[in-house]
Each structure stands twice: as C-alpha cells, then as structure tokens.
Amino acid sequence: MKFCKLTFCLLATSAALSFSACKSGLSDDKLEEKIENALTGRKTVDVEVEKGKVILSGTVASEEEKQQIESIAKTAGDKDVKSIQNNIIVSAPVATTPAPIETSNNDAVLGAAVNTFMKDFPSVQASVKDGVISVTGTLEQAKIVTLKQGLDNLNPKKVDLSGIVVKK
C-alpha cells in the first residue's frame, strides 16, 4: 500500500510539473508591454493582447508602415504570439491646395521670355501687351499645341492664337 501511495505521489508531482512547463512564457500583459516597447514612438498605434492574440489598431501614413508594425509585433512577441489581427488603418494623405498661379503683369519680363521661347518657331511672331501674348504667322497644325503649351507655361493673362494661319 505504501508503494502505491508513493507511486501516486510521484506521478501527481510529475504531471503537475509537466503542465506548468507547457504554459506560455509570457502573460498577456507582459506580452503587450513587450510589443509596445518595441513600437516606441508610434503614438497612433494601439496594442491589445488576449490569450496570445495580438490586436493592432490605429492609423498610419502608408501600407508599408502598417506591414512594418505587424512585423515588429511578430518579432517582439516571438513564440508567445499565437496570431496577429492587424486593424491599422492607412490614412489618406492630406490634400494640399496648390498655390495660385501668378500671371505675369510685367510686359518687359514676359516679352523677354516670349522672345527666348519663340526662337524655336521662326515662322511666327509674338507681341506682348498688358500681359496678353498675341501670335501671328504660319505654323503646322502639329506644332500649334507645343506653341500654346509653351506660351501658357510663361503664365500670361491670355495667349491669343487668332492670328495664326495653319499650314497643311
């Protein structure tokens, strides 16, 4: 009988030791703290851990940053992370209103820029008055678009191509 009791005690002790050895290394609180420390500086990201499952939430600027945070959480948690639920939202970039385009009111400055540009178009002439560029002469249809875009880039009030004769 003593032998049975002794055997039973030994079996019970070894079973208790084996069950405690199978338990996860870190508690959810410790795992959460470990991941948060690894994500230091990421003020827009929250971490929660429930039974080894990591839940990431918050906002970031890019998909790359979202994936990087998930990777950091996996690495920091090592074997204690059972799964990661990445609920981080990639926020849309804030649209900025472009600065208004300033038109050139100085005919001398605009005229000099027009003369430089017009060297590529010897068959047409341009004049500037009150910020309006007036163009006269003969030009192929294919070059009219290039001429108009180039003159528009000089930011005049208007480009008047009514004096152009289209050459075929």
Q: What is the CATH number of the domain that holds 140?
A: 3.30.1340.30
pLDDT for res 13: 52
Does the residue 57 lie in any domain?
yes
Instruction: Provide the pLDDT confidence category of residue 67 given band limits of 50, 70 and 90.
Output: very high
9 belongs to a structural domain: no
Residue 168 has pLDDT above 50, yes or no: yes
- Whether 153 maps to a domain, the answer reads yes
Specify if 1 maps to a domain: no
Tokens of 36: 């948060």
In a domain, 98, yes or no: no
pLDDT exceeds 90 at position 91: no
Q: Percent of the chain, pLDDT > 90?
A: 30
Half-sphere exposure of 119 (CA within 13 A, CB side): 5
C-beta separation of 49 from 31 below 8 A: yes
Banded pLDDT at 5 (limits 50, 70, 90): low
Based on the structure, what is the number of domains in the chain? 2
**Do 75 and 133 fall into the same domain?**
no
Distance of alpha carbon 76 from alpha carbon 81, whole angstroms: 9
pTM for the complete prediction? 0.44
Residue 137 lies inside a defined structural domain of this protein: yes
Q: How many residues does the chain have?
A: 168
Helices 28-38 and 63-77 cross at an angle (nearest 10°) of: 130
Per-residue model confidence as pLDDT tens digits over 125-161: 999 999 899 999 998 888 888 898 989 888 898 999 9
pLDDT for 26 = 82
Query: Is residue 123 domain-resident?
Result: yes
Average pLDDT, the chain: 82
The answer to whether the beta carbons of residues 135 and 152 sit under 8 Å apart is: no
- For residue 17, the model assigns a pLDDT of 47
pLDDT-based confidence at 42, cuts 50/70/90?
confident
Q: Indicate whether 85 and 122 sit together in one domain.
A: no
**Where does a domain end: 62, 90, 118?**
90
Range of the domain at 52: 24-90
* pLDDT of 104 above 70: no
Residues 126, 78: one domain? no
pLDDT in tens, 9-20: 444 555 544 444
CA torsion, ordered 148, 153, 157, 161, to nearest 10 deg: -10
